[in-house]
A and B are shown apart, each in its own frame.
Chain A
Amino acid sequence: GQQVMQIPQYQHVQEGEDFTTYCNSSTTLSNIQWYKQRPGGHPVFLIQLVKSGEVKKQKRLTFQFGEAKKNSSLHITATQTTDVGTYFCAGPNNNAGNMLTFGGGTRLMVKP
């Protein structure tokens, strides 16, 4: 079945350092979505990428969708303590387009 994998599973950074999480799908995706879950909270939708090679920015966050539409990345520039949380990527399930297959998430910890 379709698999969506994320690396790394955990990342500790010093405040001000950059951070990147990578997402890889076993199948081509029509789109990729990213979510952030703060500790003790629920996942919150951040963004959706649709086009091959697409790059979108939200302040210090840069999202990329690979040319082959099988991989994606989220890069945070100059991390802050407010960036702490788990970042999930998700892609539509090939068998049921309204369903998402989530990656395992990358937990980001920021030392002040």
Chain B
Amino acid sequence: SQTIHQWPATLVQPVGSPLSLECTVEGTSNPNLYWYRQAAGRGLQLLFYSVGIGQISSEVPQNLSASRPQDRQFILSSKKLLLSDSGFYLCAWSAYWGAHGYTFGSGTRLTVV
């Protein structure tokens, strides 16, 4: 069966510090991968998506970046965090045809102080 792992679960980082969040998927190959951010009590904002290794599309211009160094690994990064980067970050995967919806990771709650 397919599983998705996301870590860390919580993170408190000072303004201006770097960020690296990792997401890995097991049990499937060539998944579509996504990074979402959710502000407290709000909806899901798509940040990046990837359909293959090295292929990244950005939906929202910001100081975040994403990389996909391996087929089942998706990394969200920042060189310098801003207070506005605080939020709940969710990684998700879907099969190419998307028939079974998105499977989300358990999320990383990031607080920038």
Out of A88, A92, A98, A107, name the residue touching B44 (CB < 8 Å). A88
Q: Is the CB of A48 within 8 A of B32?
A: no
What CA separation (Å) do A45 and B101 show in the bound complex?
6
Report whether over half of chain B's contact residues are helix, strand or loop; otherwise say mixed.
loop
With A103-B43, A104-B43, A105-B43 in contact, do A42 and B104 touch (Cβ < 8 Å)? Answer: yes
The answer to whether the Cβ of A25 comes within 8 Å of any Cβ in the partner chain is no
Out of B43, B96, B99, name the residue touching A88 (CB < 8 Å). B43
What CA separation (Å) do A98 and B100 show in the bound complex?
11
**Residue of A43, A44, A45 with highest tally of chain B CB at under 10 A:** A43
The answer to whether the Cβ of A22 comes within 8 Å of any Cβ in the partner chain is no
A/B pair count, beta carbons within 8 Å: 49
Q: 1/0 per position for B88-111, CB-CB distance to A under 8 A? A: 001000101011111111110000
What CA separation (Å) do A45 and B41 show in the bound complex?
19
In the complex, what residues of B have CB within 8 A of residue A99's CB?
34, 46, 49
Q: How far is the CB of A101 from chain B (nearest CB, A)?
A: 8
The answer to whether the Cβ of A112 comes within 8 Å of any Cβ in the partner chain is no
What CA separation (Å) do A43 and B45 show in the bound complex?
13
The answer to whether the Cβ of B51 comes within 8 Å of any Cβ in the partner chain is yes
Q: Is the CB of A42 within 8 A of B106?
A: yes
Closest to B103 in A: A45
In the complex, what residues of B have CB within 8 A of residue A41's CB?
106-107
Q: 1/0 per position for B68-106, CB-CB distance to A under 8 A? A: 000000000000000000000010001010111111111
The answer to whether the Cβ of A73 comes within 8 Å of any Cβ in the partner chain is no
In the complex, what residues of B have CB within 8 A of residue A44's CB?
104
Q: 10 closest Cβ contacts across the A-B interface?
A: A45-B101, A104-B43, A42-B104, A102-B44, A42-B107, A98-B32, A33-B101, A43-B104, A105-B43, A42-B106
Q: Which residues of A contact B (CB under 8 A)?
A: 33, 35, 41-45, 48, 88, 90, 92, 96-100, 102-105, 107
